[in-house]
Each structure stands twice: as structure tokens, then as C-alpha cells.
Amino acid sequence: MAIEHFDVLVVGAGLSGIGAGYALQNYCKGKRYAILEGRDAIGGTWDLFRYPGVRSDTDMYTLGYAFKPWTRPQAMAEGASILQYVREAAREFDIERHVRFNHRVRSAAWSSSDARWTVEVDVGSDATPRTYTCGFLYLCSGYYDYAEGFTPELPGHMDFKGQIVHPQFWPPGLDYSGKKVVVVGSGATAITLVPAMSEKAAHVTMLQRSPSYVVSLPSVDGVANAFHRWLPARWAHRLARTKSVAFATAFFHLCRKKPVFARKLLRAGVAKSLPKGYEVDAHFKPRYEPWDERVCFVRDGDLFQAVSNGRASMVTDTIDHFTADGLKLGSGRSLAADIVVTATGLKLTPCAGMSFSVDGQVVDLGKTYTYRGLMLSGVPNLAFCVGYSNASWTLRADLSSRFVARLLNYMDRKGHRMCRPQVDDNTMTPQPLIGLRSGYVLRSVTRFPKQGAASPWRMAQNYYSDLYNMRWRPVADKHLAFEGRR
């Protein structure tokens, strides 16, 4: 089969990849592109996760696209609604026809003499090899390992007569009605699962080794809905998005600048949502400061309601071992269970697990630095999309795609064939790209590119700063080397 060439290849057809397609079509008119998607459907994370209650933990005015207004009344949406929204965007803006499904990218090799990437792909269930080439490679696959979730050591799990389930691979049709369920974990997935499963289960216990910060937000944004009643959809969406960005930014900076006050504020919110006398500190007082790990948001206080009415309970303890009918805890206590859900985190993998080489030299991603949070030092004509850890992923994904479009247009105007970030400061102190201390991050952080201490080698985790740097600051600077002539 002949090798097909594209101006741009995008890897991944989730929220980021569809947004990238929109940017290429609208801001780089005439560029020939394709989106390579390893699965058989559009949606990425939202097509993968099917566990009960799966939803966004940020509002859809910021998780949604700037170019497609979110007009439904619920700001914190169900996973199925988000998946439908992404697929609607792909159809509405004629992006879907550019997607190549069941294309799992294995490797990419750059040739400076040809100024192009050679991309090796496995196609279909039989992994038929296929080769593409492109002038620019844009990775929009996120950083979750779709093939494998994280499960810690579970001593004695073979003795357990019930069912052990990982949320990433939820069995279709799993019936938990009238059953005793233990959800192991304390992050966003566990906090979503517990109230959802408690509606049918006999009882749900959330077993956590240590607590997380939990904040209740309303599922319906009255102000945003008022905008939609009185204004055209695009203007209403823009105002709601602006409001949400301002609130999220202010909340994050309050937590980082005034951590003692923030801890008291967050604790007061939890205490107000639970019965008088409830052991708030035992189950909702983390050992770290707010945003050292991601803050968990519950919709309409559903977790607190489930605990308050007795349908769910919190246990803060460790697992000693499984028994035939449940779990024996470190404290000596026993928990009976028919089903144990291991919501213990995800595995992270950089760049969809691809391998890279530049002119025959293997690229060690863990030794590269990120430039503007989306390019890699020493690697030509490549960008990758990574979102915020303290706000909606799509906010930064939109900015990244707009910058890629600006960069491609700049190279066309100047006649350049190549661009690559170059680190000139040998004294730069490496820091982790993902600035959270969560276990799922720390387990994988050495495999990811690093960042420096200052711009443009550091991600700001601030939408307003990135808006300036990626939309308005000049594309060319002393750190970005342009080579070759067309």
C-alpha cells in the first residue's frame, strides 16, 4: 500500500483531538490533516469510562469547546451527554471524515533531510502495519493508559468469593442491586461511584487510606442559564465560560496563597453538609494542602446525601487482606462485601506509549523539557496537548491548538520547514511536568517530559497567562529555532 502523506497528523479523537481538527480547518485553511484514533469511536476518555455515575467534575462551559456552545441546563454533565457533545461537534464541523479509526500509533521517526515524520501504525484487530508521513505531528491522546488501570497489591484476593471490578473496565450489565459494595479509593472516581451505586446497592462503603478535599458544587448554574435565556447561545456560552474561568482561577489561588484559611473553609462546607456530630476530621481532613493533589468536586452534595441517609458510609483505614466474604482491615475491623471496586487510580503513559526518534537517535521523553507546555526540547515539528490539573482540560487544549495553528501559519509565511525548541541553559533545574502529588502521578512522573522553573519552559497552570503566551505573544522567540527553507 502506498504511503499516504499529510501536512499534519493528529493522534487521538477525544475532546482534544476533535478540537485540534477544528483549529486546523478554521485557522490553517488548506492544510491536509488526518486524526489517527486507536479505538473504534470518537470520544477518548468519555468513550472509555462506562462506570455508574461517570460525569465531569468541572463545568461544561469550560470543559466544552469555545466554538460549540453548551446549551443544556446541567453545568456538570453526565458522561453520556459529554460523549454525545463531542461526537456532535465532530459531525457538525465535518471533522469526523478526517478520523481514521482503529489506528494505533506505535512509533514516529523524524528525518531532517526530508523534514517529515514517518509514523508507524497498527490497523484493526489484526494489527496490520501501515505507514504514514507528515510534516507536523500533534499528539492529542491525553496521558491515561487505556489498556491498563492501576491496581495495588491485594493480599488474599483469590480467597474472595465475590467480584472485584476496576472502574476503567466496567463489566457491561453488572448487577449490584441489593448487594454490599466496597469502593476502594478516595479520588474523583470513587467519589462519583459511591452515590451512584448507593441508589441500587444494599449499602456502599467508601474505603480510603487517607482523605481527599471534597467540595460540593451545584449541577445547574443559575447565572449561566440566565445568560442563555436572554442572550444568543454563543454570547451566553462566552460569558458563562468567562465567569467559570474567573471563579476557578480565584479558588485555586486562594487555596495556594491562603492554605490555612482554605482548609477551614473547605472543612466548614463539608461539616455543613453532614449530620451534626459526624466525624468530619476522620474522613474529610487530608494530610496535605489544597491542590497539592486534585480537589474533588461532588455534584449537588450527592456523596454527603448518601452518607447522611445511611445508604453509604466512609471508612478510613488500610486493607490487611481479603477474606472469603469481604475485607480485613489494618485496624482489625472486617467489611462484608459482595463486590469490591478498586477505584485506586489510573496508569499514566506519555504520548500514547509511542516511541520517537530524531535522525536515527532515540528520544528519551524523560530527558526532554516542555516548551510553552506543548513542545519538546530537541524534537522538531511536534506538539502535544496536555490540559490543566487545576481547571478544565479543554481550556488549555483550545489554547494549544490555536498556538499550533499560529506556528504552522508562521512557518508557511517565512518559508521554514522545521522548528524545534532548544534549551540553552544547562543549569535549568528539572521539575515534574504534572505538579500534583497524587499517587497516580508520582508512579509515572519520571517517564514524562520535565519542565523548568520559568517561562517558556514551565506550565503556568493559569489560563490568563497561557491566553497571553499562546494567543498574543509572538510565535518566534530565542528558544525556538527555525531551520530549512521550502
Q: Write out pLDDT tens, residues 291-338.
A: 888 899 999 999 999 999 999 999 999 999 999 999 999 999 999 999
The helix (run of H) or strand (run of E) holding residue 174 is none
Backbone angles phi, psi at 77, to 5 degrees: -100, 155
Whether the Cβ atoms of residue 209 and residue 232 lie closer than 8 Å to each other: no
According to the model, what pLDDT value does residue 335 have? 96
Q: Is the pLDDT of residue 74 over 60?
A: yes
Strands 355-358 and 361-362: antiparallel
> Is it the case that residue 438 has pLDDT exceeding 80?
no
Confidence of residue 441 (pLDDT cuts 50, 70, 90): low
Q: What is the per-residue pLDDT for 442?
A: 59
397-411 per-position pLDDT tens digit: 999 999 999 999 999
- Give the rounded percent of residues in the chain with a pLDDT score beyond 70: 97
C-alpha 354/C-alpha 69 separation (Å) is: 34
Distance CA 375, CA 371 (A): 5
Q: pLDDT tens digit string along 84-105?
A: 999 999 999 999 999 999 999 9
Predicted pLDDT of residue 440: 56
Whose cell is 476533535? That residue is: 18
Over residues 357-378, the mean pLDDT reads: 94
What does the mean pLDDT of the chain come to?
Answer: 92
Per DSSP, the chain holds a count of helices (H) and strands (E) of: 13, 27
Q: Identify the H or E element spanning 103.
A: strand 103-111
Residue 353 has pLDDT above 90, yes or no: no
Structural domains of the chain ordered from first start: 4-146+347-483 (3.50.50.60), 152-344 (3.50.50.60)
For 369-421, the DSSP string reads BEETTTEETT-TTEEE----SSS-HHHHHHHHHHHHHHHHHHHHHHT-SEEEE
Mean pLDDT of all residues in 103-128:
96
Average pLDDT on 229-236 reads 92
479 band by pLDDT with thresholds 50, 70 and 90: very high
When pLDDT is cut at 50, 70 and 90, the band that residue 55 belongs to is: very high
Instruction: Say yes or no to pLDDT of 154 above 90.
Output: no
Q: What is the mean pLDDT of residues 23-37?
A: 96
CA-to-CA distance for 246 and 58, rounded, in angstroms?
A: 13
Query: What does the pLDDT average to over 63-68?
Result: 95
User: Does the CA dihedral 294-272-209-163 come out positive or negative?
Assistant: negative
CA distance 337 to 346: 23
Helices 393-414 & 15-27 angle (0-180, nearest 10):
30
Tell me the C-alpha distance between 461 and 73, whole Å.
28
* Bridging pattern class, strands 103-111 and 355-358: parallel
Whether pLDDT at 477 is above 80: yes
* Residue 78 confidence (pLDDT) above 90: yes
**Cβ pair 176, 197 in contact under 8 A:** yes
The residue type at 71: T
pTM for the structure as a whole: 0.94
